[in-house]
Amino acid sequence: MWFIEKIINNKILVNMTFLGVLIFGIIQFGFTPKSDTQNVDFGIFSIETKLPGASPIEIDQKITRKIEKELKDVDGITKYSSTSTSGFSQVFVWVDVDLNKTDSIFNEIKGAIGAIEFNSSFNISPEVRKLDWIGQPSFTVGILSEYSPKVHEWAKALQKSIESLEGVKQVSSNTIREPEISIELIPDQLKKNEISILEVINSLNKSYSFFMGGHIKSKVGKTPILIKTRPDTLSKIREIIIRSNRTGKKIALKHLAKINLKFPELKIKTKINGQDVVDLLVTAKPDADIIKVRKRVNSIIKNFSSYKVIVSSDLSKIVKNRLSVVKNNAISGLIIVFITLLFFVNLKTTLWVVLGIPFSLFGTIGVMSLKGFMIDGLSMASIILILGIIVDDAIIVSEAINQELMKNKSPQKAVRLALKKVMVPIITTLVTTLIAFFPMFLLTGTTGKFVQIVPWSIVAALSFSFLECIFILPSHLNQGRVKESSFKNKLFDLMKNQTIKLTKLTIRYRYLTICLGLLIFLLTGFVNIPKVKFKLFPNHRTERVIFQLKFKPNFTMAHKKKKIRLIEKILEKKGFINDFKTTLNYFRNGKLDLYSYQTTSIDIILTPDRERSLNAKEISELLLQEFESLNISEMSHISYSLISKNPPTGKDIEVRVIGNNDKEREKTAIKVEKILEDMGVKGIENSLHDKRENTIAVFNENEMNRVGISKENANITIQTALSGFKIDDVMLSGKKYTLNLNINDDFKKQTDFLKDIEVPSKKSTRLIPLRKFLKFEHKEEKIEVKRWKGDKITLITGDSKMSPSLVEKKIRKIKNHPSVRFKFGSTDGETEQSLMGLRYTAILAVLGIYTTLALLFQSYFQPLYVLSAIPMGFVGIMWGFQIHNEVYSFFSLLGALGMMGVIVNDSLVLINSINDERTKGTEDFIAVATGKRIRAILLTTLTTVGGLIPLGLGIGGFEQFLSPMALSMGYGLLVGTPLIVLFIPALYSIGLDFESLGVEKYVFKMRHEVRKNKRPFFSNLHQQFTDPPPKN
């Protein structure tokens, strides 16, 4: 329209807009939080319940099944799974995040669980909590020292200081233990004085009780009287009377136990780089900048100089490395783009085209920041994704202006005529690209939440790109004529003439050319598709690996430390390891995992990808081989997990054998394991084999009834003897301590000490030893009972490079019992749902693009010419991924979408040019139009591919999100764009053959329209964008 020319001529407005967007984006980049992932609510809850001493089967029946029964009545739950282990139940619940009411569902779940009536004999209180995907520890601060009261106070002070920092959500610890008042009962003294554990518990509870004693009248009314009996010093605690008789003989607590103020036994041991530490696990807030949080913590650590402090498992380093990779590759890419453009066009045009890139990128960052997104790998991927289209549009405009200038037009007229020529193709490119990515707004589930930043950033980038191409770039090229190099002109004329000759040849042998293209496409598919391996969010390029080391039962922590030290020595020698943290007695989800006391984890942070030759997967396999070569007989299993902040997708191979018939399910699970072994699957884990020998206490209930022993009293006695019993919290000298009752450790070392513990009888005053009605059985039991949507499962997992569909096809051939069924894929089925959503997205995008092009060209056939270029791009992608042995993923699909945008753009402009030459009645109009467009096509391809080469090949470092996307987009354009020049002219010629046969009677009618001075649909936009305003 006329106002475009007015804006272009207003240099101050254009320059202020350009600088304003740049400054705005740079400032917002500084304020936008940097994180390892977006703050996304994945709608996953955990219900955790403790019942010490209960077997997995008892936990399953008494707790887990009751919880699952209540979950069935809660609306919004999509699925749930459970694991019941010794003394511990954990139920995972997935809710429908698309309902946008996870908080209300969470409250409904808490209400349903709170209403469950468990056995009143036990203190069962399930804890329901939301799993915050971003809320995992950001890094670990380790104090290099043995634990002592002085270190305890120092660590607590440091913990409090870090918690007060801006951006810190919480600071937890595995190794900081609050001191407790330990009452260690001496069984011999209990027996001598004929006092039971229950009598001690009751006396202590009375001593620490308080109750209302009534009211007294005063001048102001009734005043309540509160009666307290709470000893508040160690000496008073020692003097608590347990029993007294009429003769005045008193038995105090000090006569029956040792009472000391001490730290409880360390259940979890943490080491960093092989050295013992007191750990502080720092978690940043979801909306905090993890890099800034790390700097603030570092400044606090410098002020605490009493002990040496080291930091491990630092996710801020990974974020910094990621940003460094993007920065290095962006600089390299810009240099390549600049040099490439300079070879084809003059310096002035090159400068303004290149400056359009940061204008669009920083403008997009500013919009993303206002939308509340953070800077992470996915946000950077979505920005770089649009780079090709940004450069492409700028080149189209600058090329059109240069062509008009070469015709000796004035700069102002050249700009006006160029915009008139390219306005519709650019708008159509903008619309088709938006259509290609718009269906991503419709993706559902956790993947939809995770990738929502992509379509938003693309909308912003395209908007700024359009603003730059239509207003800013023409304004700067509107100032004076720049003489092109005669050498370049001769070179381009030669290129144009050779392209015309080649195009005439392809037109002459058009059917052979198309058959050749089909053959290339089919051959590529035939060779590559069987080798395709797809993983929605691969993590083989991550920088973090966690090894799990499972020990056989009955080994002390000291013994395990000696064996783990052998593994730590291997890690200390590896140059590709930045640091590692060892945690003995595995800690999971903020709760001590009661069934995995024999498990140790080693959290490894690798050096940046650019500093090593192996990826995380290859390093993990290498370390696994070295660990296994140590032949540590005390270890039963070693496995590893590659950690990245993606939605959960599970292992490469996951098979759930589902069925409540234990015998048939286990028989089928063994068959599945054998098939996986025969197929070469590595690291196979079958939950069927997770067993251990347990000592089970069995009551003789007839004898208990005869002597008058209640099961509740027997259970409390056994629990206190084995695990201790918490009486209350006590204030001593202004500090809170836990009052804990247990049996002296020296007596626990004696064989069958439990049988000599005595329990009071309801039928007599005599105490009855446990041996009278209790016996112990040694039995091998499963470590855990797993369920999926209420049904029992056996889980088999493994690592494999083969397609999971091949594994599924093989396993489905098993002749299993009717009561047994299979479920394949990850626990939450996210991969299958996401792939289905991506398929629908692709179909919608293609239909949308076709409809837009059909309206533009007023043809049913010509949009097919444009879309036919897309398969040629996929030829390049398939060969590129084959060469680099890369896994297809969500990010490679994003790269393919970006490639489609550029190829559609180039094809569209080429078809539009052919139509223009045809309208003019130019002889050999197809070849002439192709020759005129060859420079712009080459420029687009070389600049886009050149900008992506550093990132795709990892020249400045490999990035797990960006590099696969750059490879996909780069190879697609490198192969697909040149093939446009060959196949689109041939297809167009074939279309003319059909036109001559009357096949598309109402489509190819441009000459007829020219004779009648008519315009096809949309073509009147040319006039509207350049006509002056109407005069009064």
pLDDT digits (tens, 9 = 90+) for 306-364: 788 999 989 888 888 878 877 777 787 788 888 888 887 788 888 888 888 888 888 88
Asked if residue 511 is part of any domain, the answer here is yes
Rounded CA gap, 386 and 391, in Å? 9
Q: Which domain holds residue 804?
A: 652-690+783-825
Residues 819 and 836 in one domain: no
pLDDT of residue 587: 39
Asked if residue 178 is part of any domain, the answer here is no
Q: What is the pLDDT of residues 752-798, one digit of tens each?
A: 777 888 899 888 888 998 888 888 777 777 778 899 888 999 999 88
pLDDT of residue 851: 87
Q: In this structure, are residues 208 and 729 in contact, taking their beta carbons and an 8 Å threshold?
A: no
Average pLDDT over residues 595-615: 79
Asked if residue 923 is part of any domain, the answer here is yes
Long-range contacts of 879-886 (CB under 8 A, 24+ apart): 879/524, 879/528, 879/971, 879/975, 880/967, 880/968, 880/970, 880/971, 880/972, 880/974, 880/975, 881/528, 881/967, 881/968, 881/971, 882/527, 882/528, 882/531, 884/967, 886/964, 886/967
Lowest pLDDT segment from 221-235, 483-497, 942-956, 996-1010: 996-1010
pLDDT of residue 1018: 43
CATH code for the domain of 23:
1.20.1640.10
Q: What is the pLDDT of residues 142-153, one digit of tens each?
A: 998 877 888 888
> Is it the case that residue 391 has pLDDT exceeding 50?
yes
One DSSP character per residue, 589-603 reads: TTEE-GGGTTEEEEE
Mean pLDDT of the chain: 81
Residues 942 and 851 in one domain: yes
pLDDT of residue 569: 93
Q: Kindly state the helix (H) or strand (E) to which residue 735 belongs, with its residue range.
A: strand 735-743
Confidence of residue 103 (pLDDT cuts 50, 70, 90): confident
Asked if residue 550 is part of any domain, the answer here is no
CATH code for the domain of 807:
3.30.70.1440
pTM: 0.77
Lowest pLDDT segment from 123-137, 286-300, 410-424, 1016-1030: 1016-1030
Rounded CA gap, 600 and 585, in Å? 5
Residues 529 and 667 in one domain: no
pLDDT of residue 1032: 41
In sign, the C-alpha dihedral spanning 161, 162, 166, 171 is negative
Asked if residue 142 is part of any domain, the answer here is no
pLDDT of residue 247: 61
Residues 871 and 988 in one domain: yes
| Count of C-beta atoms within a 10 Å radius of residue 515 | 12
Asked if residue 989 is part of any domain, the answer here is yes
Confidence of residue 622 (pLDDT cuts 50, 70, 90): very high
Residues 819 and 918 in one domain: no
Confidence of residue 639 (pLDDT cuts 50, 70, 90): confident
Average pLDDT over residues 944-960: 76
pLDDT of residue 158: 92
Asked if residue 1019 is part of any domain, the answer here is yes
Residues 493 and 389 in one domain: yes
Q: What is the pLDDT of residues 446-504, one digit of tens each?
A: 777 777 888 888 888 888 888 888 888 888 887 655 566 677 778 888 888 999 999 99
Average pLDDT over residues 963-983: 86
Residues 802 and 856 in one domain: no
Helices H, strands E: what count in the chain? 35, 32
pLDDT of residue 515: 92
Query: What's the number of domains the chain is made of?
Result: 2
Q: What is the pLDDT of residues 826-841, one digit of tens each?
A: 544 555 566 666 677 7
Residues 873 and 816 in one domain: no
User: What DSSP designation does 888 have?
Assistant: B
Confidence of residue 229 (pLDDT cuts 50, 70, 90): low
Which residue, 825, 853, 875, sits at the end of a domain? 825
Strands 210-218 and 221-228: antiparallel
> Is it the case that residue 689 has pLDDT exceeding 90?
no
pLDDT of residue 219: 64
Asked if residue 412 is part of any domain, the answer here is yes
Which residues have a Cβ under 8 Å from the Cβ of 219 and sit 6 or more positions away?
Answer: none
> Is it the case that residue 115 has pLDDT exceeding 60?
yes
